Amino acid sequence: MAIGDVRFTWSERKRLHRILIVAVSTNGLVGLVLFAMGTVTTLSYAGRLRTEERSLFDLVYKTLTIYGLYVLVHSLMGLKLCRNYFRYAEGSWSSLRLFVWTILGVIGALVGCFMASVCFSTAEQLVLQVRESLLEGMKKYFTDVTWKRGIDSLQVNLRCCGIDSSDDWHKTYWLQRELLVLDSPDILKYAELDGRVTPPVVPWSCCRTDVKGPCYHDPLQLTNPEQNSTYLGSLYARGCLVVIKTMLNGTLYSVVPLIVLLFVLQVVVTVLSRLDFTAARNAVALGNRKRGSPGWLYGRLDFGNAAGPNLCQIERVSEPNEINR
């Protein structure tokens, strides 16, 4: 007794095969989107955040990139496999190849479900890690050339300043004491009890490039108090974490519906590929590959199964039913 037995005409078989090809192609398209999202995010931010604690960032987005590539390659292999067995279903190992390909697809869908389940918690951890990374870079701005280049590049390219705003530079000890005139009254106003000095100065990379006029990123050099409003207007208002968070969270939150779509497509592809393959194989067994034939999810001729009626008996039973219709 076959499971999921369906009788197809030749035109219905061709329509079934086209639907299967569209489903597999859509699977591959989703994989390509996931691959592109992971690659773009990794290239955009990984190089700008130099930190020894970047393992979570690398793990998440490199895993997403590899997973998208896996889905894409699996779909391309599926397209070739489906076309081959539709034209030559009696080929050696066709059934086994389809079975292995289906199992790999199911495993990929389950892995994707696990990835989707941890996306939201991972997004929160990534934001905390990026905040710590930015703070570390700000503290080492003048002591580490690599950090200085990275922070400047980040602020110029993303058009941002500080972590949440430019005020973060005012609260961070990044200007070394030897660079300041410590006996100046203006400097002494910003001296802390522990000896640190945090004047309201920001790096040049916080300056807006769309403002026509000088950038007063060092307000201590302003001789006219009326220039304070000009000082604020010449700096980027938004913090870098806001920009990065939008990109990182947008990528991870977009992964969830895409993986749900992948799971649904995998179920559809699994069912359709079994019906498509068994119908093509049974048509060959009945003597004409371009004819109507029954297809099923599991039945006679599958993995050595010889139980139940043979194809000729199934064909004789189905023909009167077609006449009655």
The whole-chain average pLDDT of the chain stands at 80
Residues 103 and 221 in one domain: no
- Out of 51-65, 122-136, 282-296, 301-315, pick the least confident: 301-315
Of 196, 216, 241, which closes a domain? Answer: 241
Residues 113 and 171 in one domain: no
Domain membership flag for residue 220: yes
For 58-82, what is the mean pLDDT? Answer: 93
Q: What is the b/e burial string over 276-285, where b = at least 16 CB atoms within 10 angstroms of the residue's CB?
A: bbbbbbbbbb
Residues 123 and 159 in one domain: no
Do 287 and 5 meet the contact criterion of CB atoms below 8 Å apart? no
Domain membership flag for residue 1: no
The better pLDDT of the pair 54, 282 is held by 282
Residues 149 and 229 in one domain: yes
Domain membership flag for residue 323: no
pLDDT digits (tens, 9 = 90+) for 97-106: 999 999 999 9
The better pLDDT of the pair 120, 89 is held by 120
Of 241, 270, 302, which closes a domain? Answer: 241
**pLDDT of res. 322:** 43
Residues 165 and 219 in one domain: yes
**pLDDT of res. 198:** 62
Say how many C-beta atoms besides its own lie within 10 A of residue 52's C-beta.
7
Which structural domain, as residue segments, surrounds residue 219?
145-241
Residues 228 and 252 in one domain: no
Do 244 and 159 meet the contact criterion of CB atoms below 8 Å apart? no
Domain membership flag for residue 280: yes
**pLDDT of res. 289:** 80
pLDDT digits (tens, 9 = 90+) for 205-256: 988 888 776 676 566 555 554 445 555 577 888 999 998 888 888 888 999 9
Domain membership flag for residue 259: yes
Residues 104 and 173 in one domain: no
Q: Is the C-alpha dihedral spanning 209, 210, 215, 217 positive or negative?
A: negative
**Which has the closest alpha carbon to 315: 1, 7, 16, 88?**
7
For 143-148, what is the mean pLDDT? Answer: 86
Residues 212 and 282 in one domain: no
Residues 158 and 299 in one domain: no
Residues 19 and 115 in one domain: yes
**pLDDT of res. 173:** 77
37 vs 7: CA distance, rounded Å: 42
pLDDT digits (tens, 9 = 90+) for 9-63: 999 999 999 999 999 999 999 999 999 999 988 887 766 655 545 677 778 888 9
325 vs 320: CA distance, rounded Å: 9
Task: Please check the confidence at residue 325 and state whether its pLDDT lies above 50.
Answer: no
**pLDDT of res. 57:** 76
64 vs 245: CA distance, rounded Å: 17
Do 213 and 229 meet the contact criterion of CB atoms below 8 Å apart? no
Domain membership flag for residue 38: yes
pLDDT digits (tens, 9 = 90+) for 249-274: 888 899 999 999 999 999 999 999 99
pLDDT digits (tens, 9 = 90+) for 301-314: 666 655 555 555 45
Domain membership flag for residue 319: no
Residues 174 and 70 in one domain: no
Residues 252 and 122 in one domain: yes
**pLDDT of res. 321:** 44
Of 188, 209, 241, which closes a domain? Answer: 241
In the chain, how many domains are there? 2
Domain membership flag for residue 321: no
